[in-house]
Structure 1
């Protein structure tokens, strides 16, 4: 079905607003583009490259010991870190814990191991950012799909962007749709406020798009129908930085065609 010029203009304007919001979120001072390092915490108090203080963990507790010359302060209160502070997280949780100058140190638990990542508002990646490259809006990449929920959520092992971090996707069901008359089915997870999230491979990966992408769909309608708009396919943080631990698609979530819609590979 053809799209009128007026309707195409309206849809393109909505997509432009989406792109503006997406780029603004990525440009946050301590967002994903500010990552500058990743370190696993050692068992014995130790210095980490580029991170002030002495860091360690013991069981479920992370420890940081700092002196005045380390110039560290708590993100939550702004109080200086003098002596030892502790924190406890569950797997997949993160905490913007301490700051030093333009840098914030994120404490996280991944694969039941403590890690820290530095986020620097003056990072070269953030400083050079002018927006994520994207394919032009294509109305043909908007189709109607049908969501079939599973009887119960299905935890499924997956890889992640880090070979040291295994992951699990909790699948809520499957979304079926057609592109150019060919049917496809992809597994979906539940997103925020009842939406659906699909992480997928396609034939454009590592050519014009990144290694994989994700797409958030509308909430399923009462009849199970959903809007599948590949123009809104976005990169995971691992497309921008080597320090991401982003989830890879579940086995089978691969489209044999090139989805040249949504975000391109920002490193090409």
Structure 2
């Protein structure tokens, strides 16, 4: 990027507020930094790592059998789990189901999840070193040159595009509602990236760039405010963030749509957590 622009105090202040909110959200109890396992459930009631009780599934329903001595309680009510309980989820749904451990019995939350039409559990442990040692995510310095004007070209109807995820056993689907089109200084061609729709008409763009595997994770994402009536958008790559899979091996985060790549180094936004 040539002829760097100097950021204004107002731009820096807005970005610093964004970073403070992002770091606080990551440090939340039982958040993404607390994942300590991902385990598929089997048909036969079985022990699972870290968690009391016997767990199983018949393919449509998940079951947990436990006694009061196991120390499991329901996340929602705090009531003790005794006997056999069950839950039904649809694909991609999750349920913060039961909890145990610690002085208050709430240190570890067990998340029941349906991924690739199969049941799994993830443990979310507030004692995880990834959380207890977390201070902030490393980032590139704010650079106003990475605030780029573009346009959104909506599809007549959303298109479901098959994608991979951070877990090789789990496939995903990207519901593309259109393409974000823009130019990067120093690159002659237009760049087109598939976008998903978020709340209130905002867009979510997941992409590769030339920093991946060097200073940044294998892919990242950026949220774009709702397009203006004429379709124009502002893409602030300084707000590019990592998926949870950058912090934990237990995520099932979506990969970019094939071809959702920017063929330059996007030296903006979050870096690899360990940098």
| Same-fold call, TM cutoff 0.5 | yes
- State the Cα distance separating 1:185 from its structure 2 match: 1.1
Q: Deviations over 1:105-125 (max 9, x none)?
A: 000000100010000011010
> How far apart in 1 are the matches of 2:181 and 2:90?
34
Structure 1 residue 3: Cα displacement? 8.9
d(CA) in 2 for partners of 1:238, 1:45: 29
TM-score normalised per structure 1: 0.97
Moved over 4 A (4+): 1-5
Q: How does 1:168-207 map to 2 (within 5 A)?
A: 168-182=173-187, 183-207=190-214
Structure 1, unpaired ranges of 5+: none
Q: 1:4 deviation in Å?
A: 8.0
Q: CA deviation at 1:29?
A: 1.3
CA displacement at 1:147 relative to structure 2? 0.2
* 1:45-76 deviation per Cα after TM superposition (whole angstroms, max 9, x unaligned): 00001111100011311000001221000001
Tell whether 2:171 aligns with 1:160: no
Conservation of the 8 A alpha-carbon contact between 1:239 and 1:267: no
The match for 1:107 among 91, 108, 112 is 112
Whether 2:135 is the aligned partner of 1:130: answer yes
For residue 135 of structure 1, report the CA deviation from its aligned partner. 0.5
How many residue pairs get aligned? The number is 267
Alignment match, 1:216: 223
Aligned position for 2:246:
239
Q: Partners in 2 of 1:133 and 1:173 — Cα distance? A: 31
The aligned residue for residue 57 of structure 2 is 57
TM-score, scaled relative to structure 2: 0.95
